[in-house]
Structure 1
Amino acid sequence: MYYSRKRQPDDLPQEVTAIWSCTNEECNGWMRDNFAFSAQPRCVQCNSLMEKGERKLSILENTSPNHSKKK
């Protein structure tokens, strides 16, 4: 018998999160705003410009010492 203690994705709390999306129609790259390395990031998959947007995502805290909190 197999038993997994992993939380199901439905159990995780979600919130509307600021993201950056790739502007290239053929690319589906995106990243969370609080994980971006610059004020105007470029897509890591195709090197195109990215535009701001929002998505409903699971809550994820950036605990990197290099991360500056924007509030």
Structure 2
Amino acid sequence: MAYFNNQKEPVQSVETNVWSCVSDDCQGWMRENYSFDKEPACPICKSEMKQEVRVIPEMK
């Protein structure tokens, strides 16, 4: 499909399971399927992480 006037095709957003850092000072998070650990540590601050659902752009 062609888009004119430098308009880009809209990106679809989907609900995705993620791991989110529990530390108040850190905003780290990662997609659930990017970790091999059952309960990963935050890659930024090494704190615990909890599971949650976020609406983020779909990866193809």
Higher strand share: 2
Pairs aligned (count):
55
| 1:31 maps onto 2:30 in alignment | yes
Normalising by structure 2, we get a TM-score of 0.79
Normalising by structure 1, we get a TM-score of 0.68
| Structure 2 CA distance for aligned equivalents of residues 37 and 25 of structure 1 | 25
Q: Which runs of 5+ in 2 are unaligned?
A: 1-5
- RMSD across aligned C-alpha pairs, in angstroms? 1.8
| 1:51 maps onto 2:50 in alignment | yes
The share of aligned pairs that are identical, in percent, is: 31
Q: Which runs of 5+ in 1 are unaligned?
A: 62-71
| Structure 1 CA distance for aligned equivalents of residues 30 and 48 of structure 2 | 12
